[in-house]
Amino acid sequence: SAGQQAVQGRRRLIGCRRRPRRRRLSRSRGRVAQIRLIVGLGNPGPEYDMTRHNVGFLALDQAASLLGINSFRRQFKGLVAEGRYCSGRVVLFKPTTYMNLSGEAMVEIMHWYKLEPAQILIFSDDIDLLPGMMRLREKGGAGTHNGWRSILQMTGSQDFPRARIGVGAPPRGWELRDWVLSRWDKDESSHDIRDAIQLAAKAGVSFLEQNIQITMNQFNILSRPKKQKAETVEDVSGESNAEHHS
């Protein structure tokens, strides 16, 4: 049937060798063996849906589709969904604290599931990558990204695997805040950005069954980012929790 073919396709994508057992997932703390968390960063609300700021949310939606997960609930200051992959569990998460407070939500969900940073992959936008580029890293600093700055400050760790989706630097005359909160779907580069979102989602699914090094080797070669120098912009730190960079 079409449904069976879809399940088989997802299993091939993840690399499963047998059909996962169907059973109720326990939300109890302490019973979370072989668990991975995939997080998409962004801002809540329809006004932000197609902004450069929210490509992390879109990549998480794509990963959820690939995994056949479609039921989210409100918890941990965000939207969370659970599913199974091969022999383990996967949790998908969108913080809804606004970007600058993403660390508050991350602390809560990591504490509940007793997760270490290495068990987590985070999707985020990156102005230092050309539109449509995608780069995986095993760990790193926050750079100019306020969402990452909040996560690193609140958790005390830089050891989070991440998939950075290029949205490009602001053109001359744009403030950085306005650029990251502007829509990308009508731009000439919109097709490239869609491709990068899809590639990040596929890398996220790969991360569930393989370590980050193998996933980096497989997917970074498919998208070779180049640094793009941003125009000089005004410091916009602290003006809005929805802002991206400072």
Asked whether the beta carbons of 31 and 39 are under 8 A apart, the reply is no
Active site residue 53: yes
Q: Where are the beta strands (DSSP E) in the chain?
A: 35-40, 73-75, 78-85, 88-95, 120-126, 134-137, 162-166
Residue from 53, 145, 244, 245 carrying the catalytic annotation = 53
What is the rounded CA–CA span in Å between residue 202 and residue 198? 6
CA distance readout (Å), 202 to 57, 69, 73, 199, 206:
14, 14, 23, 5, 6
Task: Tell me the two tokens of residue 82.
Answer: 């659970």
Q: Quick one: which of 100, 117, 124 has its CA closest to 156?
A: 117
Angle at 110 between CA 62 and CA 138, to 5 degrees: 60
Catalytic residue positions, numbered: 53
